[in-house]
Amino acid sequence: MGTIQAINLEATRSTPEIRFDPAANRLSIDGQSYPENAFAFYQPLLQWIDDYFEQLAPGIEVSVELQLPYINTTSTKCLLMLLDKLQAAYEDGLRVAVRWLYDEDNESELECAEEFKEDLTLPFQIIPKTAEQ
């Protein structure tokens, strides 16, 4: 089994910054998400998650932090796929925790986070950004 590589994608106008640090077991997705082809953008990340979970040692906690002020429909589908993978890993006994940071002035961002959380049983916190400082 090869070593899992870190992912460091810079944000663009239509895609979020993605940072995945396998050594720290931490994924963060931060920024607007409305790429031309969301499936093409997110597919490598979804594949990477599968590979990562396959070789993750038991008892390791994986933390996922999301900040997505705007997300289009196809990005939503991709994020649901990602959260399904996290949920499945959680149900398999892995420790997975999601934190969604949102801007208190952006009501649709909060609603979006709440909708994502709805069907999940894994630890999922929705936190206003001001509470972070």
Q: What confidence tens digit (pLDDT) does each residue in 96-126 have?
A: 999 999 999 989 999 999 999 998 999 999 9
pLDDT of residue 58: 76
- Residue 132 backbone phi and psi in degrees, to 5: -75, -40
CA 122, CA 9: separation in Å to the nearest integer? 26
Distances (CA, A) of 127 to 3, 77, 82, 111, 131: 33, 22, 20, 12, 7
What b/e sequence results for 92-108 when a residue is b if at least 16 CB atoms lie within 10 Å of its CB, and e otherwise?
A: eebbbebbbbbeeeeee
pLDDT band at 2 (very low <50, low <70, confident <90, very high): low
CA distance 102 to 100: 6
Q: pTM score > 0.85 for this model?
A: yes
In a 3-state reduction of DSSP, which class is residue 2? Answer: coil
